[in-house]
Amino acid sequence: MTPGDSTGSAMDRREFTRRAVCAGAGVAVASWLGLRFHRESPEATTGAASPDFTFGDYRTQGTEGRTSVVTGGDRAGAVQRALELIGGMQAFVRPGERVLIKVNAAFATPPIVGATTHPDALTAVIAACRAAGAREVLVTDNPINDPAMCFRLTGIAAAAERAGARVVVPATRMFRPFTLAGSTLLNQWPVLAAPLEGIDRVIGLAPVKDHHRSGASMSLKNWYGLLGGRRNVFHQDVHALISDLAAMVRPTLVILDGTETMMRNGPTGGSTEDLKPTRTVVVSSDPVAADALGVTLLDRRAEDLAYLVQAAARGAGRLDVDRMDVKRAALA
């Protein structure tokens, strides 16, 4: 038999075909493995395939634009009075509803530093929710530092539990992808979804702080703690991001605790000398208006905050607080 003999070629062709099929199968498997690692969605890290999350509308009908400012007194007293001025918590929370309080527990720092929600303010808000008949009150945040340490060292966990609320410490399985229509930043981005499931009302509770990147950290910046992933990618577009957050969340209420305002070196602060005793609490169903009022505690104007101007321009709230019916009171 010589090369080229027809009988030998047929056998060679069969062998060739067999081997070609094996090679093709190998290529197909390699391709599948490559595509498996190159998914566009965060399924690989959120566990089983997660449908996109949608934020609810947590606003209470008939409470649009209700805003109050209280000066003086102690923190808890100011929060209570500010709520009373706009109808009390019962105007916003119905009996039997489940409430989520989104605190700022970003850093594992003590309350004295003023970088996180103060436990006394949280206690007052939880008490108001329970008095209004809330069936359950949850407290959550996705901190910058270790979550468990943050909730513990800030005093938030202890205050929440004493007041009868439940702290939800974020875990990987609690995140789901979210897309904000028209946003170039929040596209299939993981958000802290699980604590929001079954929730009727959302209340933001944040301190008033200087911020090195955005100029200020108040109620709109507080929603940053609902995002997962490597959020530092947003630092270069922080104003656009915060404007997106304003469109993402339609809360029941936001409460700005300006009892002590972090005037410099934010968002972490560190020294009590960064704090100014501004003794002011702002409560509003309009987060943009709340921030427009809160920024004055930093000796700045709303127009100085690009994210605030952007948020107002896209209809997330009002900047013209001078034309709003803001209820005011001064405590001794």
Partner 1 sequence: MLVVPVMVHRQGISRGMEAANSKTVIRHAPTLASPGPVERVVAVGVLVLLAAIAGAVWRASFHLNPAVELASTLQLVPGARPAVVEPGWLGTVPTGLAAMGAVERFDSESLSEKIDGKAELYVEAGFASLESRRLSVDSNPALWFEALLFTMQTPRAAYAVYSAQRRPGAANLPSGTGEGYGSGNGLFLTQGRQYVEIIAADPAAMTAANAYLADLRARLPIEAAALGERDLFPPDLVDASSCTLIPENAFGCDRLANVMTAVMRLPGGTCTVFVSLRDSPAEARELAGAYLAFLVTNGGQAVADADPPQVDLYGFRDAVFAEGRIVGGVHEVADGALATDAARRLRTYLQELPALAAEGSTHDAR
Q: Please, which residue, 26 or 62, has the CB nearer to partner 1?
A: 26
Give the three-state DSSP class for 111.
helix
Smallest distance from partner 1 to CB 185, Å:
8
For 166, the token pair is 């439940």
The residue count for binding partner 1 (CB under 8 A) is: 74
Query: Binding marks (x or -) toward partner 1, 12..51, rule CB under 8 A?
Result: xx-xx--xx-xxx-xx--xx--x---xxxxx-xxx-----
- Compute the C-alpha angle 179/181/187, nearest 5°: 30
Contact 244, 186 (CB under 8 A): yes
Residue 92 binds partner 1, judged by CB under 8 A: no
Task: For partner 1, give the closer residue by CB, 306 or 331.
Answer: 306
Nearer to partner 1 (CB atom), residue 87 or residue 270: 270
- Using alpha carbons only, how large is the chain's radius of gyration in Å? 26
Q: Which of residues 146-175 bind partner 1 (CB under 8 A)?
A: 146-147, 149-150, 153, 170-172, 175
Non-local CB neighbours of 116 within 8 Å, separated by 6+ positions: 103, 104, 105, 106, 107, 109, 150, 154, 156, 207
119 binds partner 1 (CB under 8 A): no
Q: What DSSP string describes 179-223?
A: --TT-SS-SSEEEE-GGGTT--EEEEEEEEEEETTTEEESHHHHG
Give φ, ψ of 53 to 5 degrees: -90, 145
How far does Cα 191 stand from its chain's mean position?
8
Q: What is the x/- site pattern for partner 1, positions 282-311, by CB under 8 A?
A: ------------------------------
**Binding track, positions 179-198, relative to partner 1; x by CB under 8 A:** --------xxxx--------
**Least Å from the CB of residue 94 to partner 1:** 32
Binding window for partner 1 (CB under 8 A); candidates: 56-64, 132-140, 263-271, 306-314: 263-271
Q: Which of residues 208-227 bind partner 1 (CB under 8 A)?
A: 211-214
Residue 273 near partner 1 by CB under 8 A: yes
**Cα 205 to Cα 78: distance, rounded to the nearest angstrom:** 14
Nearer to partner 1, 98 or 231 (CB): 231
